[in-house]
Structure 1
Amino acid sequence: MAAGLKTRVRSNWANAVLVCAKCSKKLDGGFGPKGKASLGKALRKQLHLKKGRKAAAGVVDVKCLGVCPRGAVTVVNGAASREWLLVPAGADLDTVAHALGLDPR
Structure 2
Amino acid sequence: MRTVRSDWANTILICKKCSKKLGGGFGTKGKTSLAKALRHDLGLRKGRKGALVIVEVKCLGVCPKGAVTVVNGAKPGEWLLVAAQSDVAEIVDGLGLRGAVARAAAEV
Q: TM-score, normalised by structure 1?
A: 0.89
RMSD of Structure 2 on Structure 1 (CA): 1.3
Give CA deviations for 1:20-50 in whole Å, capped at 9, x if unaligned. Answer: 0000000000111221111001100011112
Structure with greater proportional helix content? 2
Give the counterpart letter for 1:54 in structure 2: K
The structure 2 residue matched to 1:55, chosen from 50, 55, 59, is 50
The structure 1 residue matched to 2:24, chosen from 17, 23, 29, is 29
Q: TM-score, normalised by structure 2?
A: 0.87
How many equivalent residue pairs?
Answer: 100
Which residues of 2 match residues 2-81 of structure 1 at below 5 A?
5-6=1-2, 8-81=3-76
Moved segments of 4+, more than 6 Å: none
Give the counterpart letter for 2:48 in structure 1: R
Q: Distance in 2 between matches of 1:89 and 1:102?
A: 19
- Displacement of 1:76: 0.2
Q: In terms of mean alpha carbon deviation, does 62-71 or 30-39 score higher?
A: 30-39
Decide which structure has the larger Cα Rg and report it.
1
Gaps of 5+ in 2: 103-108
Matched, 1:99 2:98: no
Q: What is the percentage of aligned positions where both structures have the same residue?
A: 62
Give the counterpart letter for 2:50 in structure 1: A
Gaps of 5+ in 1: none
